[in-house]
Amino acid sequence: MKSRATERDQKHAVANLSNLYRIFTVPESPDSTLGQIDQEISQNLSGFLRDRIVATEQDLAVIEQDFSSPEIPEQPTFVSDYTDFLMDTLVAQSVHTASPGFVGHMASALPSFMLPLSRIMTALNQNLVKIETSKAFTPMERQVLGMLHALVFGNDNAYYQTWMHNRDSALGAFCSGGTLANITALWVARNNLFPARDGFRGIAREGLHRALRHYDCNDVAVLISERGHYSFGKAADLLGIGRDAIRAIPTDGRNRIDLGALQQTLRRLKRENSRIISLVGIAGTTETGNVDPLNSLADIAEEQGCHFHVDAAWGGPTLFSANHRHLLQGIERADSVTIDAHKQLYVPMGAGMVLFRNPASPSSIEHHAEYILRKGSKDLGSHTLEGSRPGTAMLVHSALNIIGRKGYELLIDQGIERAREFAGMIGTHPEFELVTEPELNLLTYRYVPARIQQALQRADTTRCSTINGHLDKLTKRIQKSQRAAGRSFVSRTRLSPQQFGDDTITVFRVVLANPLTTPKILGDMLEEQLQIAAGDERAQEILADLERQITD
Amino acid sequence: MKSRATERDQKHAVANLSNLYRIFTVPESPDSTLGQIDQEISQNLSGFLRDRIVATEQDLAVIEQDFSSPEIPEQPTFVSDYTDFLMDTLVAQSVHTASPGFVGHMASALPSFMLPLSRIMTALNQNLVKIETSKAFTPMERQVLGMLHALVFGNDNAYYQTWMHNRDSALGAFCSGGTLANITALWVARNNLFPARDGFRGIAREGLHRALRHYDCNDVAVLISERGHYSFGKAADLLGIGRDAIRAIPTDGRNRIDLGALQQTLRRLKRENSRIISLVGIAGTTETGNVDPLNSLADIAEEQGCHFHVDAAWGGPTLFSANHRHLLQGIERADSVTIDAHKQLYVPMGAGMVLFRNPASPSSIEHHAEYILRKGSKDLGSHTLEGSRPGTAMLVHSALNIIGRKGYELLIDQGIERAREFAGMIGTHPEFELVTEPELNLLTYRYVPARIQQALQRADTTRCSTINGHLDKLTKRIQKSQRAAGRSFVSRTRLSPQQFGDDTITVFRVVLANPLTTPKILGDMLEEQLQIAAGDERAQEILADLERQITD
């Protein structure tokens, strides 16, 4: 960034010690320069937030030019100059994830009360690793974990009076997101599988290689369907068990774990003398929003005597809905459950949780230090993967109170309803093909001209694969053009749906969690895709290739 | 929380769909209810931030009563009611970490421009895992990593033009804090130690047990001084190598790694056929603020052919100071370096980084998915431990620009200067004993009445230990009483300084990074400790015991 500060401005910037003190002092009046900047930012932001997804689509390489210098400016910059720079270069080129037309990822609108309340969090700048730097934030975070524990596991009030603020255990761990939550769950599961006993001081101290030797087994495994989130592979790498330890179980026609295939894998593991770190159920697959049969998985975990984790990062809040909570039946039998607050709890980015049915289970990852996290303290950091971290739990507390159970129920019910409506629109449209039906509020589909659909029905496997290959290019092209135009946004992914045989195909992926997304917006989005298919040069080329294929 | 919302208020809360839409819509005018709440919060907060460390010291058990219900309220709550609740219960009982008298932990004042700028981050709610949800934030984060990479490794501009925005590599990884940064560094180091080669697909896929077998070694080790941060033990547990793999090397009289002892350990590892994952140097020990001899460690790492990591979570920004940057000489030879932005870069909680000298090295932890992080994309999430995460790098960018190199230099120089002054005050005071001299801006000391100091000089080892045991109780009592009084705050830790033989003693720990902390405040703090020693009943009992000891 080139500073546009004039010489006069420099005097007001951090050029000497007394100015340095000033920037650390809270301005007394809203009429101060900083108060005015604050007001301007608020006004500019609300302008931005009412507009399109991206102001003007610019190539990343062009944007990179604004952020290309490795030099830390020698001289300070005036706050107002810097704010102008941010508005012109950063804000103008950000993605408006809260737009009703942004339905491609698990990002959504943010309730507007989050802005003033976030200011409390930022200003107090608490550090939740220890009570000495967080005081009341510590019991508040414990309460948030307790509230969501109660939502999932439903114990009675007396239970929470015993455990919520108990110094020797934890109902869960707050973290920056679902990935850390899933890692924490598998870490706890791995350590509980190989605890200390006569002649062995536990895997936490001695490591995986000694644990396998001591417990006389050849290997370990994590069982999860092929629709599992990519964080599980990352967790397996990190935890030292290796990505191959993730045994991806095939899914049925509705993207749910195939129980027959799971049983086969279980028999194989037994023959191989491998131990199960965790069986994982998914409540809301990332790509298709489906829910595994959690009760059946709980039965199997019980039979196997293994840890049962449920990744409900997306689907957890479905429990708020009287109409739909039955979809998650069996989740209350899990040993650990991941829920993301920055997804369907509508909290700003950076808030996830893992909850433990048994508050003693995370003791397998407990750690201490001499200057904090002393034994017997209530410091939250003794059971978390992260060290210092912000008081984001406050924003979850806010959302739970201000929106309330009924508010969340409305949000969940409407998202699912909207997904069904949209599936109907796609299903009845001659030029679109619904690939995965919505179970929660996600669906996938693709654009396939009617003539091609008919050709696909007649074609043999080889011909189908060729046609699908061309359709993949078309889907990718339409998705990129639509993203670039900046009016609406769907994402794309690759799936192998049962009805397509062995083919892996590229599809549009839609996530409907923004209450401001109307059927009209969704209709317009389809219309825009049709226009791209009809008007974009590259799309036309692909379509011409397709025509040749089916007339050959 | 008990809702104080009246029936009328309920109507204005999220009780039906149209209200639900409203909370997701940005209010147009600053005169809106939410605009007014925003103003009130700002005013109340600046009141809070000028006051004491804690408003009224309350027992944690009392505070917990405000956060004891596990129930998620059925009905929505009015935002104004909820804000009142927050102000009365949470804000009033938070710790004022920005107070000039709060010198006990690595928390400091926050520049006030962080408040308006944080609002931009919260409102845009970008997700840095992928470009599709972060656009311009992605090049900005890459620039921040580049700027700090240049500060540490000092390559030329051409180097950064090649690597800063390169899609296949990463100059570093942004994360929520130093713990994740240290874990990421060791993860990279572990994976690079056991890469794929003929007959082995690499530790990331096959796991630690197979890696050890394939590479024909018995064990692995991480070498770090006994002053190392507790996150290394946590990392060793998490990574599956076990806490015992951390070989804690003794330190010299200035808390720096003992190179002779290190050489002994290296010889032992060779005999044991153990491989070194990383040698770790510390630039700013958590408890005493000392810096290891980084150049010597770099020599040894080169000799051993092993990864060299420097934990500069605290001390990294010392590089801004022309006067003091020589203390960190050799850091530019590290393979990876941790820097915390929420420490001496004065950014709000939740910002850390690990930097890699070789931008290809993090490819050993690279991961992909079908819907994001595709091969060849510039998505930042393919090299990070976390998944979805906020655009906090923006605040680092802001601080670097607004404060500038010179501003940081002033802050660093002043902190070190202040620590020296305070050490002088302690050293010349007859009732206090300086335990560790400041090298950067940390020091430790304890209260020891002059008569006891004399007795300690005469006493034999056993008698010394007994006296130190009583002094430990006294230090703990004074620290707790001072914390409870809420005017100032020092932390406490346990150290085994060389001059105390084999004794581990409890000390006050002081961190001087807040530019508003004056010598007057530090003098008052000592005065208050003397008053506690003279006035507190329990302290008097301990002192009486001590008197008996020395007159026996």
B401 and A3 within 8 Å at the Cβ level: the answer is yes
Spatial distance between the Cα atoms of B175 and B355, rounded to a whole number of angstroms: 11
* Nearest chain B alpha carbon to A514: B24
Listed in sequence order, the DSSP H helices in B125-248 are: 137-153, 157-163, 178-193, 203-206, 208-214, 231-238
pLDDT at A17: 66
Q: For the segment B330-350, what is each residue's pLDDT rounded down to a tens digit?
A: 999 999 999 999 999 999 999
A404 and B23 within 8 Å at the Cβ level: the answer is no
Q: What is the band of B443 on the pLDDT scale with cuts at 50, 70, 90?
A: very high
Q: For the segment A478-508, what is each residue's pLDDT rounded down to a tens digit?
A: 999 999 888 899 999 999 988 888 889 999 9
Residue A476: how many other CB atoms lie within 10 Å: 15
Q: What is the mean pLDDT of chain A?
A: 92
Name the burial class of residue A528, with classes exposed (0-12), middle (13-18) and buried (19+) by CB atoms within 10 angstroms of its CB.
middle
Give the count of Cβ contacts less than 8 A between chain A and B. 587
B230 and A406 within 8 Å at the Cβ level: the answer is no
Q: What is the mean pLDDT of residues A349-353?
A: 97
How do strand B219-225 and strand B274-282 relate by DSSP bridges? Answer: parallel
Q: What is the band of A54 on the pLDDT scale with cuts at 50, 70, 90?
A: low
Q: What is the band of A36 on the pLDDT scale with cuts at 50, 70, 90?
A: confident
* Nearest chain A alpha carbon to B189: A238
Q: For the segment B354-363, what is each residue's pLDDT rounded down to a tens digit?
A: 999 999 999 9
In the CATH scheme, what is the code of domain B127-391?
3.40.640.10
pLDDT at A30: 65
Shortest alpha-carbon distance between residue A166 and chain B (Å): 11
Q: What is the band of B30 on the pLDDT scale with cuts at 50, 70, 90?
A: low
- The percent of residues above 70 in pLDDT, for chain A, comes to 94
Is the pLDDT score of A190 beyond 90? yes
Q: For the segment A372-384, what is each residue's pLDDT rounded down to a tens digit?
A: 888 889 999 999 9
- Point out the residue among B151, B180, B190 whose CB comes nearest to the CB of A72: B151
Q: What is the band of A39 on the pLDDT scale with cuts at 50, 70, 90?
A: confident
3-state SS of chain A: helix, strand, coil percent to 5? 50, 10, 35
The Cα-based distances of A15 to A7, A79, A81, B116, B321 in angstroms read: 11, 13, 15, 21, 15
Is the pLDDT score of A2 beyond 50? no
B287 and A134 within 8 Å at the Cβ level: the answer is no
Least confident stretch, A103-117, B158-172, B463-477? A103-117
Is the pLDDT score of B422 beyond 90? yes
* Nearest chain B alpha carbon to A372: B493
Q: What is the mean pLDDT of residues B157-179?
A: 96
Letter string b/e over residues B455-470, b meaning 16 or more CB atoms within 10 A of that residue's CB: bbeebeeeebbbbbeb
pLDDT at A337: 98
pLDDT at A53: 66
Name the burial class of residue A375, with classes exposed (0-12), middle (13-18) and buried (19+) by CB atoms within 10 angstroms of its CB.
exposed
Residues of B in contact with A509 (CB under 8 A): 371
Q: H-helix or E-strand containing A413?
A: helix A393-428
Q: What is the band of A28 on the pLDDT scale with cuts at 50, 70, 90?
A: low
Residues of B in contact with A403 (CB under 8 A): 14, 23, 76
A139 and B67 within 8 Å at the Cβ level: the answer is yes
Least confident stretch, A148-152, B52-56, B135-139, B225-229? B52-56
Q: For the segment B500-531, what is each residue's pLDDT rounded down to a tens digit?
A: 888 899 999 999 999 999 999 999 999 999 99
β-bridge mates for residue A340, sequence order:
A352
Among A88, A174, A544, smallest CA distance to A381 is for A174
Q: What is the mean pLDDT of residues A210-218?
A: 97
A39 and B30 within 8 Å at the Cβ level: the answer is yes
Least confident stretch, A27-41, A494-508, B103-117? A27-41
A136 and B93 within 8 Å at the Cβ level: the answer is yes
Shortest alpha-carbon distance between residue A551 and chain B (Å): 32
**What pTM did the predictor assign?**
0.95
Sequence-distant (≥ 6) Cβ neighbours of residue A552 within 8 angstroms: none
Residues of A in contact with B237 (CB under 8 A): 187, 191, 204-205, 365, 367
- Point out the residue among B112, B165, B176 whose CB comes nearest to the CB of A386: B176
Tokens of A235: 């967790």
In the CATH scheme, what is the code of domain A405-551?
3.90.1150.10
- Point out the residue among A91, A95, A404 whose CB comes nearest to the CB of B133: A95
Q: For the segment B36-88, what is each residue's pLDDT rounded down to a tens digit?
A: 888 888 877 776 665 566 655 688 899 999 999 999 999 989 899 999 999 88
Spatial distance between the Cα atoms of B427 and B526, rounded to a whole number of angstroms: 12
3-state SS of chain B: helix, strand, coil percent to 5? 50, 10, 35
A38 and B42 within 8 Å at the Cβ level: the answer is yes
Q: What is the mean pLDDT of residues A261-269?
A: 98
Q: What is the band of B10 on the pLDDT scale with cuts at 50, 70, 90?
A: very low
* Nearest chain B alpha carbon to A38: B116
Is the pLDDT score of B6 beyond 50? no
Among A184, A165, A171, smallest CA distance to A359 is for A171
Residues of B in contact with A43 (CB under 8 A): 30
Spatial distance between the Cα atoms of A13 and B231, rounded to a whole number of angstroms: 37
Interface test with B, best of A117, A367, A388, A488 (most B CBs within 10 A): A388
Shortest alpha-carbon distance between residue A367 and chain B (Å): 7
